[in-house]
């Protein structure tokens, strides 16, 4: 958050604290609240992906509604009517409001969500770990904050170096697809490289390129060796002439 307008002016790096997307005064909370069309589009993309993720994790419907409303409250602080929040999750919702918008995008979630999600898992007879759900939820919220900042930075540097931005974007897409493919087609010793998407995305461009090159090569080699194994097994077990 330190590369934003307000801090750059304080450090004498910039003459203006204007947001590069909309021109308004930019402090840390402006980044997720910016009303520029590009920021709104990125927010829409992040929210839709997050909503799908909450479903995938079998999040309780009233918990999902409350968390999405809290996220909406980061962008539009005046729009957070309590009446739409189920009474059973209101204490957790209010505890999360106390932690605040910035805390939410830093992945600090109220502990009161956990027993509520546990109740939901019990109700649907799901054996999943509620601690894991909470830790993944926290990571997802951090990612949303990260993507909003990344989108803002991409606009900032648009005029500076279009080529560099394209390189970043291509590499980031490659990194996302590696994480989406998962660790199954990789040797065991390489699998830990897919532990944290955020950590990889935060690396320098050169490091990200090295990371991606290695992963692509390892995946290719692993597939080739698996095919060779299958072929040799086929030869051993195939009926003779």
Distances (CA, A) of 200 to 30, 155, 174, 175: 25, 21, 11, 8
Nearer to Zn ion, 20 or 107 (CB): 20
| One of 19, 46, 134, 141 touching Zn ion (CB under 5 A) | 19
- Does the footprint of Zn ion cover residue 85 (CB under 5 A)? no
Least gap, CB of 60 to Zn ion (angstroms): 34
| One of 1, 17, 18, 22 touching Zn ion (CB under 5 A) | 22
Nearer to Zn ion, 16 or 196 (CB): 16
- Does the footprint of Zn ion cover residue 17 (CB under 5 A)? no
Least gap, CB of 30 to Zn ion (angstroms): 6
Report the b/e string of 174-196 with b at 16+ CB within 10 A. bbeebbeeebeebeeebeebbee
Six-digit token pair at 102? 């910035």
Residues between 127 and 146 with contacts to Zn ion, criterion CB under 5 A: none
Six-digit token pair at 76? 């539009």
List the beta strands (DSSP E) in the chain: none
| Residues binding Zn ion: number (CB under 5 A) | 4
Six-digit token pair at 107? 């992945």
Least gap, CB of 34 to Zn ion (angstroms): 3
Least gap, CB of 111 to Zn ion (angstroms): 33
Specify the stretch interacting with Zn ion by CB under 5 A; choose among 32-40, 69-77, 114-122, 143-151. Answer: 32-40
- Does the footprint of Zn ion cover residue 34 (CB under 5 A)? yes
**170 and 205 Cβ atoms separated by less than 8 Å:** no
Least gap, CB of 156 to Zn ion (angstroms): 11
Please name which of 98, 52, 91, 49 lies closest in space to residue 73, comparing C-alpha atoms. Answer: 98
Specify the stretch interacting with Zn ion by CB under 5 A; choose among 28-36, 69-77, 120-128, 158-166. Answer: 28-36
Distances (CA, A) of 130 to 25, 86, 87, 121, 190: 40, 20, 21, 8, 28
- Residue 21: phi, psi to the nearest 5? -95, -45
Specify the stretch interacting with Zn ion by CB under 5 A; choose among 15-23, 60-68, 182-190, 210-218. Answer: 15-23
**List of residues contacting Zn ion (CB under 5 A):** 19, 21-22, 34
């Amino acid at each position: 958050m330190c590369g934003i307008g307000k801090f750059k002016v304080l450090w004498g790096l910039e003459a203006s604290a204007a947001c590069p997307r909309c021109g308004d005064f930019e402090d840390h909370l402006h980044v997720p609240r910016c009303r520029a069309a590009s920021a709104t589009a990125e927010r829409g993309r992040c929210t839709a992906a997050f909503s799908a993720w909450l479903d995938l994790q079998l999040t309780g419907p009233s918990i999902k509604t409350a968390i999405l409303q809290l996220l909406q409250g980061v962008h539009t602080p005046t729009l957070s009517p309590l009446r739409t929040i189920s009474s059973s999750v209101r204490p957790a919702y209010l505890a999360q409001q106390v932690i605040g918008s910035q805390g939410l995008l830093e992945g600090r979630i109220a502990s009161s969500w956990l027993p509520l999600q546990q109740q939901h898992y019990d109700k649907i007879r799901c054996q999943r770990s509620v601690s894991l759900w909470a830790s993944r939820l926290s990571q997802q919220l951090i990612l949303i904050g990260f993507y909003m900042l990344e989108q803002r930075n991409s606009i900032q540097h648009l005029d500076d170096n279009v080529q560099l931005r394209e390189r970043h974007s291509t590499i980031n897409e490659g990194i996302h697809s590696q994480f989406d493919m998962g660790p199954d087609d990789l040797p065991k010793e390489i699998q830990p490289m897919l532990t944290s998407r955020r950590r990889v995305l935060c690396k320098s461009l050169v490091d990200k390129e090295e990371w991606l090159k290695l992963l692509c090569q390892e995946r290719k080699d692993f597939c080739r060796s698996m095919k060779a194994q299958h072929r040799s097994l086929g030869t051993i077990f195939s009926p003779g002439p």
